[in-house]
Amino acid sequence: MTTRTEAVKAYLLDLQDRICSALETFETDTRFIEDAWTRPAGGGGRTRVIENGSVIEKGGVNFSHVFGSGLPPSASAHRPELAGRGFEALGVSLVIHPHNPHVPTSHANVRFFIAEKEGEEPVWWFGGGFDLTPYYGNEEDCIHWHRVAEQACAPFGPDVYSRYKAWCDTYFHIKHRNEPRGIGGLFFDDLNEWDFDTCFAFIRAIGDAYIDAYLPIVQRRKAMAYTEQQRQFQEFRRGRYVEFNLVYDRGTLFGLQSGGRTESILMSLPPQVRWSYDWKAEVGSEEARLTDYFLQDRDWLGLTAPKAAV
Amino acid sequence: MTTRTEAVKAYLLDLQDRICSALETFETDTRFIEDAWTRPAGGGGRTRVIENGSVIEKGGVNFSHVFGSGLPPSASAHRPELAGRGFEALGVSLVIHPHNPHVPTSHANVRFFIAEKEGEEPVWWFGGGFDLTPYYGNEEDCIHWHRVAEQACAPFGPDVYSRYKAWCDTYFHIKHRNEPRGIGGLFFDDLNEWDFDTCFAFIRAIGDAYIDAYLPIVQRRKAMAYTEQQRQFQEFRRGRYVEFNLVYDRGTLFGLQSGGRTESILMSLPPQVRWSYDWKAEVGSEEARLTDYFLQDRDWLGLTAPKAAV
């Protein structure tokens, strides 16, 4: 293992620890359980899962470090020519499904790849981001989430947030529904445009920012009362989450294609889900407002200058 | 529309009617509702869905007849060279999710494709089959299901059942779980090895056989008592159904890729589903027996001669 890989690995393991500890502060008795696993084809991971907590219904915060001889095409967005190379991949990936429909689901991921080929320089890149999936939208939460994202990106360039925010909107799009999965955040891949140290610093900024972005939202919403009908709406919307993850998500497909540990990959799926034929929210309802207003690839921070009236 | 297409269409519409009527005999008040739809890119369908019945929790029996200018690669198992041709596709596709965990989920499909290219003979083929997904297995049901399948195939050749039974086992395999979706049945695609009339007669035999295969099983199991724990196991196993349909099923992917009507395609998804991290059935339990015994690509009719003891 190179010094770079060691440094990334140490950061990721510490990030996993810090995120789990931070999330456990919401729970009285329930704790993450840990499964350490090894992968027959090379590498392994440290899966941490929490289930049936008072706030978190199901959540997974996974660290993995895998090696392989043939990089799957899903590993890189823009460089399919690297497919088939020997590779090493490290990452932390997490999904938190709270019980209360007023608390959004969150997802975050930071990952580091190295693709190697005999006689050539290794190619490395980072990827990651975080995104939020509310069931009952709150303007305040969306602005807070995006502001933390924007502040994490700011030291790395004035356009970093807006580029990765736009990429997030594009990536987390459920094509067959023509609907975004959530209210977005950041998504990036193939990141090696800066030197290694800068890229690594950026990844750390993103990983750390997730905690600042999500915890205040959970804190604000976790004690809100909800009805059985709101719970059913949450379960119905969770179906969209499943559709995205199983049909489109490259991380999920990469994991399944590369012989990853299925239970660690699919910990992202929600605990209870409903599908109802052609269900539609009542016009003007809070449920309709989710798709009509919140799930619309909005410019939450108002960064795009409004067009001057002519 | 050619005479052939007209004949297939008339059969399929009648099959849809007969299947819906047959299934409605289990219900006292609940009936299939019908949505007729047209597809902007060409064609349309007649979706029939039943929800919250006393026996059927969610079921869809869909007829569709669509045209397009570019055949998606998922349309044919073995002839990717036809991708991109103009095409016409007709089919009936159904999935029935009963409420009671003792009643298996069933799926059936019969379809007819024509791929056309300027200056060349049109290429046509049939596909289809039916397969059963129990939650609590019953030897009697599995044997009945496969016997009806075998009898439907017998007039068309001595090896038809065993070939299409094997194809079904191969097709409905959840790779990332290394588990079959159910106890199988029949699956075939690219069928044009016989003349049109024989192929069409075969399709009719398969479509009609589904009713004879499934109804007696529903009849036998629908009044069985079940516990909340058995219901939860059913919801957990339904997760596997979702995983197969969204990750692997070519029919689903064909529909989503070809701009099909999402609600008609995804009517196949179960009404209520659970995912629990790394859940395992207790050794020796009925739940463990499902995967240990029933979901094992068995030779249910004992057609393979047992090896003589040496």
Q: Do B267 and A277 touch (CB under 8 A)?
A: yes
Q: So what's the pLDDT on residue B309?
A: 52
Looking at chain B from residue 251 to 280, which residues have their Cβ under 8 Å from any Cβ of chain A? Answer: 256, 262-263, 265-267, 269-278
Q: Do B277 and A256 touch (CB under 8 A)?
A: no
How far A121 CA sits from the closest chain B CA (Å)?
A: 33
Average pLDDT, 10 consecutive residues per value, chain B (310 residues): 90 98 97 94 93 98 91 73 87 98 98 91 94 98 98 98 98 96 97 96 98 98 98 98 95 82 96 97 97 96 69
For A182-192, the pLDDT digits (tens) are 999 999 999 99
Which of B30, B74, B233, B278 to probe the A interface (max A CBs under 10 A)? Answer: B278
For B121-171, the pLDDT digits (tens) are 889 999 999 999 999 999 999 999 999 999 999 999 999 999 999 999 999
Nearest to A269 by CA among B236, B178, B59, B281: B236
What chain A holds in terms of domains, given with CATH numbers, is 1-292 (3.40.1500.10)
Which secondary structure element, helix H or strand E, spans residue A184, and what is its range? strand A184-191
Written as one letter, the residue type at A228 is: E
A41 part of contact set with chain B, CB < 8 Å: no
Span between the terminal Cα atoms of chain A, in Å: 61
Q: Do A273 and B271 touch (CB under 8 A)?
A: no
Q: How many residues make up chain B in this entry?
A: 310
Who among A35, A262, A278 is closest to B263 (CB)? A278
A173 labelled ligand-binding: no
A247 part of contact set with chain B, CB < 8 Å: yes
B107 flagged as catalytic: yes
Q: So what's the pLDDT on residue A41?
A: 79
Who among A246, A272, A276 is closest to B246 (CB)? A246
Give the Cβ contact number of residue A133 at 10 Å: 25
User: Which residues from chain A sit within 8 angstroms of residue B276, using beta carbons?
Assistant: 51, 58, 271
Looking at chain B from residue 148 to 187, which residues have their Cβ under 8 Å from any Cβ of chain A? Answer: 175-177
Contact A19, A109 (CB under 8 A): no
How far A119 CA sits from the closest chain B CA (Å)?
A: 34
Span between the terminal Cα atoms of chain B, in Å: 61
Q: So what's the pLDDT on residue A305?
A: 63
Who among A242, A247, A262 is closest to B177 (CB)? A262
Q: Do A272 and B271 touch (CB under 8 A)?
A: no
B97 part of contact set with chain A, CB < 8 Å: no
Where does residue A284 rank: exposed (0-12), middle (13-18), buried (19+ CB within 10 A)?
Answer: exposed
Q: What does the pLDDT profile of chain A (310 residues) look like in tens digits?
A: 688 999 999 999 999 999 999 999 999 999 999 999 998 878 999 999 999 999 999 999 999 999 888 887 777 667 777 888 888 999 999 999 999 999 999 999 999 999 988 888 889 999 999 999 999 999 999 999 999 999 999 999 999 999 999 999 999 999 999 999 999 999 999 999 999 999 999 999 999 999 999 999 999 999 999 999 999 999 999 999 999 999 999 889 878 877 789 999 999 999 999 999 999 999 999 999 999 999 999 999 999 865 555 4
